[in-house]
Amino acid sequence: MPQKADWSAVEPAIFGTLLERALDKDERARLGAHYTPRAYVERLVLPTIVEPLRADWEAVKAAAVELADAGDKAAAISELRRFHANLCGTTILDPACGTGNFLYVALEHLKRLEGEILDLLASLGEMPTLEGPGLSVDPHQLLGIEANPRAAAITELGVVDRLSAMAFSNPS
C-alpha cells in the first residue's frame, strides 16, 4: 500500500516527473500538468514567502539578542516565542499544486527558519514544547488545490507524509 510506504528516502521532486510521464500528451495539456523543477519553484518561493519572513526574523533576532544582552532574557524569549507562533500560523496556498513541489519547498524553508528560532531559544535556556497543532511548523499549514486526483494523492502520500517526520536545525 502506498499509504504505508516509507517515502523519506525519495526526493519529492521525482513525483512530478513520474506523474507527467504517466499522463498521455492530451491529458497533460488538458490538466496543465507540467513538472516545475526546484530551481524554478525557488524563484517564486524565495521572494514571496522566505525573504519576507527572513527579514522579519532578522529584526526579531536582533531585538531578542539586544534584550538578552541587556539582561532581560524573559523579554527576549517572549519576542522569539511570538515570532515562532506567527511562523507556525503561516499558511501556504498553492492553487494548482500538482505533486506538491511548491508546497514541499516552501515548508522545507519554513522548517529551516524554525530550526534557527529553536536554536536561539535553546541558547537562552528555553526548550519549547513542539507537540500539538500550532506548536511547530508542520504540513497542516499547507493548502493545495489540484484537479488531478492522482497528483493530489501523490502530494498527500509522498510529500506531506514525508515532511511530517522531518526535523530541521540550523546547519551552522
The span from the CA of 117 to the CA of 123, in Å, is 10
Query: What pLDDT digit, counting tens, does each position of 134-155 carry?
Result: 688 988 898 888 887 877 777 7
Residues whose CB is less than 8 angstroms from the CB of residue 143 and which lie 6 or more positions away in sequence, other chains included: 91, 92, 93, 94
pLDDT at 104: 85
Query: What pLDDT digit, counting tens, does each position of 10-56 carry?
Result: 565 555 555 555 556 666 555 555 567 778 889 999 999 999 999 99
Q: Is the distance from CB of 21 to CB of 152 less than 8 angstroms?
A: no
Query: What pLDDT digit, counting tens, does each position of 56-88 carry?
Result: 999 999 999 999 999 999 999 999 999 999 999
The span from the CA of 17 to the CA of 122, in Å, is 40
Grid cell listed for 67? 534584550
Q: Is the distance from CB of 70 to CB of 119 less than 8 angstroms?
A: no
Please classify residue 171 by burial: count the beta carbons closer than 10 Å to its beta carbon, then call 0-12 exposed, 13-18 middle and 19+ buried. exposed
What is the three-class DSSP state of 37? coil
Q: Is the distance from CB of 36 to CB of 45 less than 8 angstroms?
A: no
Secondary structure of 106-144 in HEC code, one letter for each residue: HHHHHHHHHHHHHHHHHHCCCCCCCCCCCCCCCHHHEEE
Q: Choose among 101, 119, 112: nearest CA to 137.
A: 112
Q: Is the distance from CB of 86 to CB of 60 less than 8 angstroms?
A: no
**Residue % of the chain over a pLDDT of 90:** 44
